[in-house]
Amino acid sequence: MLDWKLLGTTFVAIFVAEMGDKTQLATLGMATVSSRWSVFIGAALALVATSAIAVLIGDALSRHLSPIWVRRGAGVLFLVLGTVYLATKPQ
């Protein structure tokens, strides 16, 4: 059965997190020089694909690890990637 509260919470969390991020800005830029429907469909499919991968990995990890360790691991990975992005010199 579909958990509507979880669906809503997930939607709001992802919507807020994606506002103004580099993916949205790249999509904005592509839409200025290309077919907006092609850009929209490509961006939407990419977000669906990456979300599907995350759900599958999260489901697999939850079979072997406590949810708290999955969240902690995701948090550490977020911090590591953020540090790498900040330390990387733009081309």
Model pTM score: 0.70
| Boundaries of every domain in the chain | 4-87
**Number of C-alpha atoms within 13 angstroms, CB side, residue 61?**
15
Cα separation, 50 vs 1, in Å, equals 23
Dump pLDDT digits (tens) for 39-64.
Answer: 999 999 999 999 999 999 989 998 99
Q: Quote the pLDDT of residue 85.
A: 83
pLDDT along the chain (91 residues), means of 10: 92 86 87 90 94 93 91 91 83 63
